[in-house]
A and B are shown apart, each in its own frame.
Chain A
Amino acid sequence: RKEVEQDPGPFNVPEGATVAFNCTYSNSASQSFFWYRQDCRKEPKLLMSVYSSGNEDGRFTAQLNRASQYISLLIRDSKLSDSATYLCVVNRFGSSNTGKLIFGQGTTLQVKP
């Protein structure tokens, strides 16, 4: 079983739709959580961190449920430019108290006109 699991999709949605991605992680020792975005044939870039209280950045809302070991990302009013792969990421601190990021497979979103 992968440490971070995501539905690879693709999710095909029309412009203006609301879409939600889910992610589960298996290691309860995971300390911090993120969503990264990766455009086709480009490098991953941080989209947003995920906090236990939930957090919002414009059209994007991230939620964390530590009890269920579940992370979500909600995108409202989808734009064509939101088409990308969204990577769920957890950080598990190593013995020297530095984390290595564990990436999920990624969920592909295609927003259609």
Chain B
Amino acid sequence: DAGVTQSPTHLIKTRGQQVTLRCSPKSGHDTVSWYQQALGQGPQFIFQYYEEEERQRGNFPDRFSGHQFPNYSSELNVNALLLGDSALYLCASSLDVAGVGQAGELFFGEGSRLTVL
């Protein structure tokens, strides 16, 4: 049973560029959430996708956008990259049982580490 997979694992971009990160959820999961984790900080919620719609959004600018496909996989896009966007981007999947995932458990991928120069 494959867990959450993310690609790429590492990437380097320059300011102003655009990046697309990809995520395949754990088998059987229908909800994908994206988090940004800066060094020394806890993960910060970006947004959540369910049934191909953005269901909730955190305090991130419109430069951050996403998409969910019919097979539940998801993409995170960041435009006009800033130095401050350098972070580990974590994808987490869950099953929407009672609106909170299975007992609140998110299954995280290993993340995509983005460096913006």
Identify the A interface with B (CB < 8 A).
4, 8, 31-32, 34, 42-46, 49, 87, 91, 93-94, 96-106
Contacts and interface: CB of A to CB of B under 8 A. Distances in A.
Contacts of A34: 104-105
A94 B48 CA distance: 11
Interface of B: 31, 33, 35, 40-45, 48, 50, 55-56, 58, 90, 96, 99-101, 103-106, 108-111
Nearest to A103: B42
The A contact surface, by secondary structure, is strand
Given A43-B110, A44-B90, A93-B99, A99 B104 contact: yes
B55 A96 contact: yes
A47 to B, nearest CB: 10
A53 to B, nearest CB: 16
Nearest to A88: B42
